[in-house]
């Protein structure tokens, strides 16, 4: 690079493509990395507004439209947290 700014188009077409080929990953688009990041953040329980800002979405609605299906899978976990808060229940560990 010799001190020059990174050209995003050149990076994706050259360096990223070469790295994917060298790693024998098959067909992986740079956008797939972005989507994976957003999906993992949602699955890890990250705040949806944080995800929106990190992804650079213009509105929360864009984030929900793209990743909303992942929020559905978090319902049982959210219900368990509410139960624990109301009834002050905690999971026992083998050491308890």
Helices (H), the chain: 8-10, 17-22, 30-43, 48-55, 60-72, 75-87
Q: Residue 42 belongs to what domain range?
A: 8-70
Is 84 within the bounds of a domain? Answer: no
Report pLDDT for 96: 53
Is 52 within the bounds of a domain? Answer: yes
For the chain (96 residues), the mean pLDDT of every run of 10, in chain order, is 80 90 92 92 90 95 91 71 71 56
Report pLDDT for 17: 92
Residues 6+ apart with CB under 8 A from 49: 60
Is 83 within the bounds of a domain? Answer: no
Report pLDDT for 60: 93
CA distances from 15 to 7, 25, 37 (A): 11, 14, 20
Is 88 within the bounds of a domain? Answer: no
Provide the domain count of the chain. 1
Report pLDDT for 51: 94
Query: Residue 60 in contact with residue 51, Cβ under 8 Å?
Result: no
12: number of CA atoms within 13 Å, CB side?
Answer: 9
Give the span between the Cα atoms of 44 and 74, in whole angstroms.
Answer: 9
Report pLDDT for 1: 52
């Amino acid at each position: 690079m010799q001190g020059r700014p990174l050209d995003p188009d050149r990076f994706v077409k050259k360096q990223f493509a070469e790295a994917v080929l060298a790693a024998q990953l098959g067909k992986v688009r740079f956008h797939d990395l972005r989507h994976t990041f957003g999906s993992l953040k949602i699955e890890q329980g990250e705040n949806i507004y944080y995800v929106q800002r990190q992804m650079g979405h213009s509105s929360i609605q864009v984030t929900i439209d793209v990743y909303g299906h992942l929020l559905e899978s978090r319902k049982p976990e959210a219900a368990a947290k509410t139960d624990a808060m109301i009834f002050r229940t905690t999971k026992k560990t083998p050491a308890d």
